[in-house]
Amino acid sequence: MKQLFYLSFWFFQTRFLGKKKPLQTVLFISDECNLACKHCSVYNHTNPHRKTFEEIKEELIYSYRLGSRFVDFEGGEPLMWKDGEKNTNDLIDLAKEIGFFSTTITTNGQFPLTACKADSIWVSLDGLKPYHDEIRGKGVFDKLCKHIAESNHKALSVNMVINSINYHSVRETIEFVKNNPSIQSISLNFYTPRTLEEDPLFLDWEKRRELIDEIIKMKKEKYPIMNSISGLKYMKTNEFKKYCWITNFILPDKSRFDTCPMQHIGVCERCGYCMAGEMTSVFHFKLETIFSAIKLRMK
Ligand SMILES: C[S@@+](CC[C@H](N)C(=O)[O-])C[C@H]1O[C@@H](n2cnc3c(N)ncnc32)[C@H](O)[C@@H]1O
């Protein structure tokens, strides 16, 4: 009840009074990673940044004071994070003590998930085995499936980033999710280039539009797709007003951004993050999106 009150108040302040106040935080706790995925640049195998517990505590308090109430622990691989005796579960407890409503971890699924205390777990799944392993490395898919099957977590979903390698696997991956009792839903994103250069992983717009039409069709057929229909429609052209300041970001090098850091690189036109469209849908009061966001975040 208290949480619903806060959310209504936040909506009123931001939508009607024009206040720019984040509701969620993407907090990179390190850039240490055990993989080197083809589409990702957030890993540092030679000299990784590893934040201490105290540094993360300070960043959580800072974000909470800005107004944020949902935190996603990101990396690198967040499940590799340690500071002395402390591990990611201590960060989750800490976030809850500070007052965050809900915590999320985004992981590559290469470590056991049974002990993970996050309210929701997002496992990255970039297609079925041949595609996932081509992007993330040999044997990664099988390990991920094993850890998902053993996890027993009530809110585990998968996150797919569609690119020019794996776009053929979208339908079968959604089918796989539907038939896997350990997975709640799938969120579908498109690869976002990190520079303004030509990028062979970027999926061309025509294929993107065709795929989104197919995803919308599957969503209407009740496949467990997290994206809302209005959010998906926005992603077809990317020509919509964005409200990415709803999330604040703190990067592995501790730099703080009050909106998506990619905005500063100027790649928003080719953005493929579904959250951009979802946030716009929430802001335009699309009830379907609001209800699915509440369902996803609040228990
Ligand atoms: C940076 S990773 C870190 C967490 C964890 N190691 C993992 O693999 O899920 C977080 C998410 O960002 C996605 N991602 C990385 N680079 C991306 C890009 N250029 N465009 C879209 N999504 C990307 C990954 O696929 C993953 O789902």
CB 147 within 8 A of CB 110: yes
Counting the structural domains of the chain, the total is: 1
Q: What are the distances in angstroms from CA 118 to CA 91, 178, 239, 281, 283?
A: 9, 23, 34, 26, 26
Ligand 1, atom 6, residue with closest C-alpha: 77
Q: What percent of the chain has pLDDT over 70?
A: 98
Strands (E), the chain: 24-28, 70-74, 82-83, 86-87, 102-107, 120-124, 156-162, 186-190, 247-250, 256-257
Q: Domain residues for 155?
A: 23-297
Ligand 1 and 42: CB distance under 6 A: yes
At residue 286 the predicted structure's pLDDT band, cuts being 50, 70 and 90, is confident
Residue 3 included in any domain: no
Ligand 1, atom 26, residue with closest C-alpha: 124
In this predicted model, what pLDDT tens digit does every residue of 3-61 receive, in sequence order?
989 999 999 999 999 999 999 999 999 999 999 999 999 999 999 999 999 999 999 99
Instruction: Report the CATH number at residue 292.
Output: 3.20.20.70
Q: What are the distances in angstroms from CA 18 to CA 15, 26, 118, 243, 248?
A: 6, 22, 32, 12, 17
Ligand 1 and 189: CB distance under 6 A: yes
Residue 126 included in any domain: yes
Ligand 1 and 104: CB distance under 6 A: no
Find the 123 Cα to ligand 1 centroid distance in Å: 10
Find the 77 Cα to ligand 1 centroid distance in Å: 10
Ligand 1 and 106: CB distance under 6 A: yes
User: Model pTM?
Assistant: 0.95
Find the 8 Cα to ligand 1 centroid distance in Å: 31
**Mean pLDDT to the nearest integer, 202-220:** 97
Kindly give the number of the ligand 1 atom that is closest to the alpha carbon of 43: 1
Find the 267 Cα to ligand 1 centroid distance in Å: 16
Residue 179 included in any domain: yes
At residue 299 the predicted structure's pLDDT band, cuts being 50, 70 and 90, is low
Residue 91 included in any domain: yes
**Mean pLDDT to the nearest integer, 139-155:** 97
> Which of 19-23, 95-99, 168-172, 287-291 shows the lowest mean pLDDT across its residues?
287-291
Find the 126 Cα to ligand 1 centroid distance in Å: 10
92 vs 104: CA distance, rounded Å: 8
Residue 141 included in any domain: yes
Ligand 1 and 98: CB distance under 6 A: no
Task: Supply the DSSP string of 72-117, one letter for each residue.
Answer: EEESS-GGG-EETTEEHHHHHHHHHHHT-SEEEEEE-S-S--TT--
- pLDDT at position 287 is 73
Find the 10 Cα to ligand 1 centroid distance in Å: 28
- The mean pLDDT value of the chain amounts to 95
Find the 191 Cα to ligand 1 centroid distance in Å: 9
Mutate to test the pocket of ligand 1, among 38, 81, 106, 162 (most ligand atoms within 8 A of CB): 106
Positive or negative, the CA dihedral 83, 85, 89, 93 is negative
CB 183 within 8 A of CB 158: yes
Ligand 1 and 124: CB distance under 6 A: yes
In this predicted model, what pLDDT tens digit does every residue of 232-256 receive, in sequence order?
999 999 999 999 999 999 999 999 9
At residue 282 the predicted structure's pLDDT band, cuts being 50, 70 and 90, is confident
In this predicted model, what pLDDT tens digit does every residue of 251-273 receive, in sequence order?
999 999 999 999 988 899 999 99
Residue 6 included in any domain: no
Find the 18 Cα to ligand 1 centroid distance in Å: 31
Residue 16 included in any domain: no
Residue 15 included in any domain: no
Ligand 1 and 272: CB distance under 6 A: yes
Ligand 1 and 127: CB distance under 6 A: no
